[in-house]
Chains A and B, each alone.
Chain A
Protein backbone atom coordinates (compact mmCIF):
# COMPACT_ATOMS: atom_id res chain seq x y z
CA UNK A 1 0.00 0.00 0.00
CA UNK A 2 1.09 3.56 -0.54
CA UNK A 3 3.62 4.98 -2.92
CA UNK A 4 5.11 1.67 -3.98
CA UNK A 5 1.88 -0.09 -4.96
CA UNK A 6 1.59 2.15 -7.97
CA UNK A 7 5.22 1.57 -8.91
CA UNK A 8 4.84 -2.20 -8.51
CA UNK A 9 1.80 -2.24 -10.78
CA UNK A 10 3.59 -0.27 -13.49
CA UNK A 11 6.69 -2.42 -13.10
CA UNK A 12 4.62 -5.56 -13.68
CA UNK A 13 3.32 -4.02 -16.90
CA UNK A 14 6.82 -3.05 -18.04
CA UNK A 15 7.96 -6.61 -17.54
CA UNK A 16 4.95 -8.01 -19.38
CA UNK A 17 5.45 -5.66 -22.34
CA UNK A 18 9.14 -6.51 -22.46
CA UNK A 19 8.31 -10.22 -22.61
CA UNK A 20 5.93 -9.41 -25.43
CA UNK A 21 8.67 -7.54 -27.26
CA UNK A 22 11.02 -10.51 -26.77
CA UNK A 23 8.40 -12.79 -28.29
CA UNK A 24 7.96 -10.49 -31.27
CA UNK A 25 11.73 -10.36 -31.79
CA UNK A 26 11.81 -14.14 -31.74
CA UNK A 27 9.03 -14.28 -34.35
CA UNK A 28 10.77 -11.77 -36.59
CA UNK A 29 14.15 -13.47 -36.26
CA UNK A 30 12.69 -16.86 -37.07
CA UNK A 31 10.46 -15.76 -39.92
CA UNK A 32 12.31 -18.09 -42.27
CA UNK A 33 13.55 -20.78 -39.92
CA UNK A 34 12.80 -24.24 -41.24
CA UNK A 35 14.54 -26.30 -38.58
CA UNK A 36 13.69 -26.34 -34.86
CA UNK A 37 14.57 -28.74 -32.00
CA UNK A 38 10.95 -29.96 -32.11
CA UNK A 39 11.30 -30.64 -35.80
CA UNK A 40 9.56 -28.79 -38.61
CA UNK A 41 9.50 -25.05 -39.22
CA UNK A 42 9.39 -22.44 -36.46
CA UNK A 43 5.93 -21.72 -35.09
CA UNK A 44 4.78 -18.24 -34.20
CA UNK A 45 4.59 -17.45 -30.48
CA UNK A 46 2.33 -14.98 -28.77
CA UNK A 47 1.96 -13.73 -25.21
CA UNK A 48 -1.25 -13.99 -23.22
CA UNK A 49 -1.78 -11.21 -20.69
CA UNK A 50 -3.63 -11.79 -17.45
CA UNK A 51 -4.44 -9.28 -14.75
CA UNK A 52 -2.74 -10.15 -11.51
CA UNK A 53 -3.71 -9.30 -7.97
CA UNK A 54 -1.00 -7.52 -6.08
CA UNK A 55 0.45 -8.91 -2.85
CA UNK A 56 -1.69 -10.52 -0.19
CA UNK A 57 -0.94 -7.68 2.24
CA UNK A 58 -2.27 -5.17 -0.27
CA UNK A 59 -5.29 -7.31 -0.72
CA UNK A 60 -6.10 -7.22 2.97
CA UNK A 61 -5.30 -3.60 3.67
CA UNK A 62 -8.28 -1.98 2.00
CA UNK A 63 -11.49 -2.86 0.31
CA UNK A 64 -10.95 -0.77 -2.80
CA UNK A 65 -7.46 -2.21 -3.23
CA UNK A 66 -8.95 -5.48 -4.40
CA UNK A 67 -9.89 -3.80 -7.65
CA UNK A 68 -6.33 -2.71 -8.35
CA UNK A 69 -4.34 -5.23 -10.29
CA UNK A 70 -1.09 -5.49 -12.14
CA UNK A 71 -0.52 -7.57 -15.23
CA UNK A 72 1.52 -10.64 -16.02
CA UNK A 73 2.17 -12.92 -18.96
CA UNK A 74 0.16 -16.01 -18.10
CA UNK A 75 1.71 -18.08 -20.88
CA UNK A 76 3.39 -17.89 -24.25
CA UNK A 77 1.02 -19.59 -26.62
CA UNK A 78 2.06 -21.27 -29.85
CA UNK A 79 0.22 -20.33 -33.00
CA UNK A 80 -0.69 -23.68 -34.58
CA UNK A 81 -1.21 -22.36 -38.06
CA UNK A 82 -0.18 -24.55 -40.96
CA UNK A 83 3.22 -23.57 -42.34
CA UNK A 84 3.11 -21.80 -45.65
CA UNK A 85 4.57 -23.71 -48.58
CA UNK A 86 7.14 -21.91 -50.67
CA UNK A 87 8.37 -23.35 -53.94
CA UNK A 88 12.16 -23.58 -53.74
CA UNK A 89 13.51 -26.89 -55.10
CA UNK A 90 17.12 -26.00 -54.29
CA UNK A 91 16.41 -25.64 -50.58
CA UNK A 92 17.81 -28.57 -48.53
CA UNK A 93 14.48 -28.86 -46.68
CA UNK A 94 12.36 -28.97 -49.81
CA UNK A 95 9.98 -31.93 -50.15
CA UNK A 96 9.66 -34.21 -53.18
CA UNK A 97 7.59 -31.65 -55.07
CA UNK A 98 10.10 -28.86 -54.36
CA UNK A 99 8.06 -27.07 -51.67
CA UNK A 100 9.60 -25.82 -48.43
CA UNK A 101 7.47 -25.45 -45.30
CA UNK A 102 8.14 -21.94 -43.99
CA UNK A 103 6.74 -20.37 -40.80
CA UNK A 104 3.61 -18.38 -41.58
CA UNK A 105 4.75 -15.10 -40.02
CA UNK A 106 3.28 -11.81 -41.11
CA UNK A 107 6.05 -9.24 -40.68
CA UNK A 108 3.52 -6.40 -40.90
CA UNK A 109 1.48 -7.81 -38.05
CA UNK A 110 4.60 -8.33 -35.96
CA UNK A 111 5.65 -4.73 -36.64
CA UNK A 112 2.30 -3.29 -35.54
CA UNK A 113 2.38 -5.53 -32.46
CA UNK A 114 5.83 -4.22 -31.72
CA UNK A 115 4.65 -0.62 -31.99
CA UNK A 116 1.76 -1.33 -29.65
CA UNK A 117 4.11 -2.93 -27.13
CA UNK A 118 6.41 0.10 -27.32
CA UNK A 119 3.55 2.55 -26.80
CA UNK A 120 2.17 0.55 -23.90
CA UNK A 121 5.64 0.52 -22.38
CA UNK A 122 5.86 4.29 -22.72
CA UNK A 123 2.42 4.80 -21.17
CA UNK A 124 3.55 2.85 -18.14
CA UNK A 125 6.74 4.89 -17.92
CA UNK A 126 4.56 8.01 -17.79
CA UNK A 127 2.59 6.49 -14.92
CA UNK A 128 5.78 5.74 -13.03
CA UNK A 129 7.04 9.28 -13.55
CA UNK A 130 3.77 10.67 -12.29
CA UNK A 131 3.81 8.47 -9.17
CA UNK A 132 7.38 9.51 -8.50
CA UNK A 133 6.57 13.18 -8.83
CA UNK A 134 3.65 12.83 -6.45
CA UNK A 135 5.83 11.08 -3.89
CA UNK A 136 8.50 13.77 -4.15
CA UNK A 137 5.89 16.47 -3.80
CA UNK A 138 4.61 14.82 -0.65
CA UNK A 139 8.13 14.91 0.76
CA UNK A 140 8.19 18.65 0.26
CA UNK A 141 5.26 19.22 2.62
CA UNK A 142 6.45 21.13 5.63
CA UNK A 143 9.69 22.31 4.07
Chain B
Protein backbone atom coordinates (compact mmCIF):
# COMPACT_ATOMS: atom_id res chain seq x y z
CA UNK B 1 0.00 0.00 0.00
CA UNK B 2 3.03 2.21 -0.16
CA UNK B 3 1.83 3.76 -3.38
CA UNK B 4 -1.56 4.86 -2.08
CA UNK B 5 -0.91 5.51 1.57
CA UNK B 6 2.17 6.83 3.26
CA UNK B 7 4.35 8.04 0.43
CA UNK B 8 2.26 8.92 -2.56
CA UNK B 9 2.99 11.07 -5.55
CA UNK B 10 1.93 14.28 -3.86
CA UNK B 11 4.22 13.67 -0.92
CA UNK B 12 7.14 13.00 -3.23
CA UNK B 13 6.35 16.10 -5.24
CA UNK B 14 6.18 18.20 -2.07
CA UNK B 15 9.48 16.73 -0.90
CA UNK B 16 11.09 17.67 -4.20
CA UNK B 17 9.58 21.14 -4.04
CA UNK B 18 11.06 21.67 -0.58
CA UNK B 19 14.47 20.59 -1.84
CA UNK B 20 14.30 22.89 -4.85
CA UNK B 21 13.06 25.84 -2.82
CA UNK B 22 15.89 25.37 -0.35
CA UNK B 23 18.33 25.36 -3.25
CA UNK B 24 16.70 28.50 -4.62
CA UNK B 25 17.14 30.14 -1.22
CA UNK B 26 20.88 29.46 -1.48
CA UNK B 27 21.06 30.97 -4.95
CA UNK B 28 19.27 34.12 -3.73
CA UNK B 29 21.54 34.31 -0.67
CA UNK B 30 24.53 34.17 -3.04
CA UNK B 31 23.08 36.99 -5.10
CA UNK B 32 22.44 39.22 -2.10
CA UNK B 33 25.91 38.48 -0.74
CA UNK B 34 27.44 39.53 -4.06
CA UNK B 35 25.20 42.56 -4.54
CA UNK B 36 28.27 44.80 -4.67
CA UNK B 37 30.86 42.53 -6.24
CA UNK B 38 31.97 44.04 -9.54
CA UNK B 39 31.30 41.80 -12.53
CA UNK B 40 29.05 39.40 -10.63
CA UNK B 41 26.04 38.18 -12.61
CA UNK B 42 22.83 37.48 -10.71
CA UNK B 43 21.89 33.79 -10.80
CA UNK B 44 18.43 32.38 -11.30
CA UNK B 45 17.38 28.86 -10.42
CA UNK B 46 14.82 27.44 -12.82
CA UNK B 47 12.90 24.28 -12.16
CA UNK B 48 9.22 25.03 -12.93
CA UNK B 49 9.34 23.60 -16.42
CA UNK B 50 11.34 20.50 -15.55
CA UNK B 51 9.07 19.80 -12.58
CA UNK B 52 5.94 20.29 -14.66
CA UNK B 53 7.25 17.87 -17.29
CA UNK B 54 8.11 15.31 -14.64
CA UNK B 55 4.63 15.56 -13.12
CA UNK B 56 2.82 15.37 -16.46
CA UNK B 57 4.95 12.67 -18.02
CA UNK B 58 3.68 9.88 -15.80
CA UNK B 59 4.97 6.33 -16.03
CA UNK B 60 8.16 7.09 -17.92
CA UNK B 61 10.24 5.61 -15.20
CA UNK B 62 12.51 2.71 -16.10
CA UNK B 63 12.33 1.19 -12.64
CA UNK B 64 8.54 0.98 -12.71
CA UNK B 65 6.98 -2.03 -14.39
CA UNK B 66 3.34 -0.97 -14.23
CA UNK B 67 1.84 2.49 -14.91
CA UNK B 68 0.03 2.45 -11.56
CA UNK B 69 3.21 1.74 -9.64
CA UNK B 70 5.17 4.46 -7.96
CA UNK B 71 8.78 3.78 -7.24
CA UNK B 72 9.79 4.44 -3.67
CA UNK B 73 12.53 6.87 -4.68
CA UNK B 74 10.09 9.12 -6.46
CA UNK B 75 10.79 8.35 -10.09
CA UNK B 76 10.82 11.16 -12.60
CA UNK B 77 9.93 13.83 -10.06
CA UNK B 78 12.86 12.98 -7.81
CA UNK B 79 15.26 13.17 -10.73
CA UNK B 80 14.31 16.73 -11.66
CA UNK B 81 17.44 18.87 -11.78
CA UNK B 82 17.15 22.62 -11.51
CA UNK B 83 19.18 24.70 -13.93
CA UNK B 84 21.00 27.89 -13.11
CA UNK B 85 20.99 30.79 -15.52
CA UNK B 86 22.69 34.16 -15.38
CA UNK B 87 21.01 37.54 -15.64
CA UNK B 88 22.68 39.25 -18.56
CA UNK B 89 23.32 42.96 -18.88
CA UNK B 90 25.72 45.57 -17.63
CA UNK B 91 23.93 46.53 -14.43
CA UNK B 92 22.83 49.90 -13.17
CA UNK B 93 26.25 51.17 -12.10
CA UNK B 94 28.11 49.93 -15.14
CA UNK B 95 30.37 47.70 -13.06
CA UNK B 96 28.95 44.56 -14.67
CA UNK B 97 26.96 43.58 -11.58
CA UNK B 98 23.40 42.58 -12.46
CA UNK B 99 22.02 42.05 -8.94
CA UNK B 100 19.01 44.14 -8.00
CA UNK B 101 18.60 43.85 -4.25
CA UNK B 102 14.91 44.82 -4.39
CA UNK B 103 14.15 42.08 -6.84
CA UNK B 104 16.13 39.58 -4.81
CA UNK B 105 14.13 40.52 -1.72
CA UNK B 106 10.88 39.89 -3.59
CA UNK B 107 12.13 36.54 -4.88
CA UNK B 108 13.27 35.70 -1.37
CA UNK B 109 9.87 36.44 0.13
CA UNK B 110 8.11 34.55 -2.64
CA UNK B 111 10.39 31.57 -2.27
CA UNK B 112 9.96 31.51 1.48
CA UNK B 113 6.17 31.62 1.22
CA UNK B 114 6.13 28.81 -1.31
CA UNK B 115 8.45 26.77 0.88
CA UNK B 116 6.22 27.28 3.90
CA UNK B 117 3.14 26.42 1.85
CA UNK B 118 4.73 23.15 0.75
CA UNK B 119 5.85 22.38 4.29
CA UNK B 120 2.34 23.09 5.53
CA UNK B 121 0.80 20.80 2.92
CA UNK B 122 3.20 18.03 3.79
CA UNK B 123 2.39 18.55 7.44
CA UNK B 124 -1.33 18.24 6.73
CA UNK B 125 -0.71 15.07 4.77
CA UNK B 126 1.17 13.64 7.70
CA UNK B 127 -1.61 14.56 10.09
CA UNK B 128 -4.14 12.73 7.92
CA UNK B 129 -1.99 9.61 8.10
CA UNK B 130 -1.56 10.09 11.82
CA UNK B 131 -5.30 10.44 12.22
CA UNK B 132 -5.91 7.20 10.36
CA UNK B 133 -3.20 5.33 12.24
CA UNK B 134 -4.41 6.45 15.64
CA UNK B 135 -8.02 5.82 14.80
CA UNK B 136 -9.39 8.81 16.64
Residues of A within 8 A of B (CB): 2-3, 5-6, 9-10, 12-13, 16, 49-51, 62-65, 67-71, 116, 119-120, 123-124, 126-127, 130-131, 133-134, 137-138, 140-143
- Whether B126 lies near A3 (C-beta < 8 A) is no
Interface residues of B in 29-86 (CB under 8 A from A): 29-30, 32-38, 40, 43, 45, 81-84
Residues of A near B116 (CB, < 8 A) are: 133-134, 137
5 sample A-B contacts, Cβ–Cβ < 8 Å, listed by A number: A12-B33, A67-B43, A68-B30, A70-B34, A123-B104
- Whether A131 lies near B105 (C-beta < 8 A) is no
Residues of B within 8 A of A (CB): 18, 21-23, 25-30, 32-38, 40, 43, 45, 81-84, 101, 104-105, 108-109, 111-112, 115-116, 119-120, 122-123, 126
- Whether A5 lies near B26 (C-beta < 8 A) is yes
Residues of B near A137 (CB, < 8 A) are: 115-116, 119-120
Measured CB to CB, the closest approach of chain B to A73, in angstroms, equals 10
Which residue of A67, A123, A142 contacts B35 across the interface (Cβ within 8 Å)?
A123
Residues of A near B23 (CB, < 8 A) are: 62, 64
- Whether B26 lies near A9 (C-beta < 8 A) is yes
Residues of A near B45 (CB, < 8 A) are: 64
Residues of B near A67 (CB, < 8 A) are: 27, 30, 43, 84
Which residue of A6, A116, A119 contacts B29 across the interface (Cβ within 8 Å)?
A6
Question: Per DSSP, are chain A's interface residues mostly helix, strand or loop, or mixed?
Answer: helix
Residues of B near A13 (CB, < 8 A) are: 32-35
- Whether A64 lies near B81 (C-beta < 8 A) is yes
- Whether A49 lies near B25 (C-beta < 8 A) is no
Taken together as a complex, chains A and B put the C-alpha atoms of A49 and B38 apart, in Å, by 7
- Return the 3 tightest CB-CB contacts between A and B, nearest first: A13-B33, A67-B84, A49-B37
- Whether A51 lies near B84 (C-beta < 8 A) is no
- Whether B112 lies near A134 (C-beta < 8 A) is yes
Measured CB to CB, the closest approach of chain B to A136, in angstroms, equals 10
- Whether B27 lies near A68 (C-beta < 8 A) is yes
